[in-house]
Amino acid sequence: MLKLFNDLTGKKEDFVPLEKSKVKMYVCGPTVYDFSHIGHARSYVFFDIMYRYLKFRGFDVTYIQNLTDIDDKIIKRAHEENLTIYELADKYTELYFRDMKKLRALSADYFPRATQHIPDMIEAIKILIQKGFAYESNGNVYFAVDSFQDYGKLSRKPFEELIDSEDSPDKRNPKDFALWKRKKEDEPFWESPWGLGRPGWHIECSVMSTKYLGSTLDIHGGGQDLVFPHHENEIAQTEAYTGKKFVRYWIHNGFLTVNKEKMSKSLKNFFTIQEVLEKRSPENLRCFLISTHYRKPMEFSDENLDHAQNVLEKFFVALEASRNAHLIDNKDYSKSLTEDLKKLIQQTQSEFILAMDDDFNTPLALSHLQTLAREINKITQKGEIVNPEIMEQAHKLLWELGSILGIFLENKEGISDKLVDLILTIRQEARQSKDYALSDKIRDELNKLNLEVKDLPNKTIWYKKI
C-alpha cells in the first residue's frame, strides 16, 4: 500500500485516490522569467519520479503543471529585457522545456498558461464576490480571509502570522490577498467588471487546476516555500468557490542548500540547471537529487555529486557486465550462486517497492539497487558463472527499477553501441593473437571517446564515462 506524507494532516497516510486507480495530480510549475536553478530541479525531478512510480504502480495519472506567465517578476524582467511579457514568457518557457528534456523529466499531460485563462479567472472572482468571500475596492478585488473559517489549515500557523506580503490601504484587513489588481502604469492589463487590471498570482492555480482536473484533486505538489501563502490561498479561494474539498494530499519537497543556506534567486547562491549540466550528466544530477528523502533539506556540493557519480558508475558496470548474459551458453554454472542471485532478485524487487511505497523513500530504494549491483559485480569480477537466464533477469530488474528513478536513461541499444561491441570483438581477436599493441590502441582510442573498457576474467565490458 502506497503511503504519502500529507502536509494537510501532518501525517503519513494510505494513498486512496478519489476514483479508483485514477490519480489527478497538479504541480505548481515555474514562473517563466528566468533560468531555473538546481533548487527547482530538485522539485521537478522528485515529482517526475512520483509520476513514474504512480504509473508503475498501475495508476492512470493525469498530470498538470502550470506556467506562470504574468506576475510582478515577469513584468519587471520584460521591461529590463525590452520584450513584451509574451516574448519573455515564450523565451523562458522554451528554456524550461529544454532543461526538463535534459533532466529526462517526463512531460506533464498539459501545461496551462495563466494568460490563456484570464476569462476563467474573472468568472471565478465574480462568483467569489457573489458568495461574499471577496470584495472590490478601488479597482482591486481582495479575498476576505475572515470569511473563510479554515484559513491557515495547511500551514498551521497562528492566525496572526498569516500576513500577506502586499500592504495596501484598499484592503479591509492586512491579511486579505489580491484576486485582481488594478492596472498600474506601464503594466499589461485586461478588461474586467472592476476595470482594467490583471489577476493576482494565487487565483491562476485554483482556476486552472480545477478546470482540467475537477473540483477535487488527489495530489497537489510543489516546493516547501509554496505552503504559505500560495497554497494556503489556493485552498481558501477554491473551497470557498466550489464548497468542496480542494486537495486530498498536499505534498511539498524540501529545500536544496548551499553551505547550509537555502538556494534561492534572492540570495544569489544558486547554480542554474544549465550550468550544472555542463559539468555533470543528467543521470549524475538525478542520482544525487534522489540520495536524500524529498522532504528533508539537502546540501548541494561537488563532493555529494561525486559520491552520486561513484554510485552510478558501479551501476553501469553491473548493467554492462550482465547485459549480454543470455548470449553465454554455459551449462556449467554454480547452482548455489544462481539460487542466491535468484533470491536477491526477488528481495530487491519487493524491498524497492516497500521503500517507494513508504512516502517515496528514494535513498532506501537506491540502496536496495546498490546491493543487487554489488552482487552482480562480485560474480562477474570473480569470473563466476551463474545461470545466464537468472543473470538476464537481474539485468532487467536493475534496468527497470533504475528507470523509475530515472538514473539509467542512456539508450544502450542504438547502432553506435553495436559498433562499439563490434570494435571490441575485433580487439578480442587481436588479444587472442597476442597483438597487444593493437588491442591497447583500440582501448586507448575508445577511452579518448569517453568510453571505458574493462577486461573482466571472462569478458570485456564497456560503458560511457560521464
By CB under 5 A, name the binding residues for Zn ion. 28, 205
- Indicate the residue among 103 and 205 with the shorter CB distance to Zn ion: 205
Cα 39 from Cα 289, distance rounded (Å): 10
Helix (H) or strand (E) holding 343: helix 335-357
CB 135 to Zn ion: min, Å: 23
- Indicate the residue among 112 and 402 with the shorter CB distance to Zn ion: 112
CB 408 to Zn ion: min, Å: 31
Q: What's the order of all strands across the beta sheet hosting 134-137?
A: 134-137, 140-143, 177-182, 197-199
Largest CA distance in the chain: 90
Cα 140 from Cα 167, distance rounded (Å): 13
Taking the mean position of all CA atoms in its chain, how far away is CA 102?
12
- Indicate the residue among 67 and 365 with the shorter CB distance to Zn ion: 67
- Indicate the residue among 117 and 286 with the shorter CB distance to Zn ion: 117
- Indicate the residue among 30 and 282 with the shorter CB distance to Zn ion: 30
Taking the mean position of all CA atoms in its chain, how far away is CA 101?
12
Tell me how many degrees the CA angle 445-451-454 measures, rounded to the nearest 5. 95
CB 375 to Zn ion: min, Å: 43
CB 234 to Zn ion: min, Å: 5
CB 199 to Zn ion: min, Å: 12
- Indicate the residue among 37 and 220 with the shorter CB distance to Zn ion: 220
Cα 17 from Cα 61, distance rounded (Å): 10
CB 230 to Zn ion: min, Å: 6
**CB burial of residue 137 (10 Å; 0-12, 13-18, 19+):** middle
201, 230 Cβ separation under 8 angstroms: yes
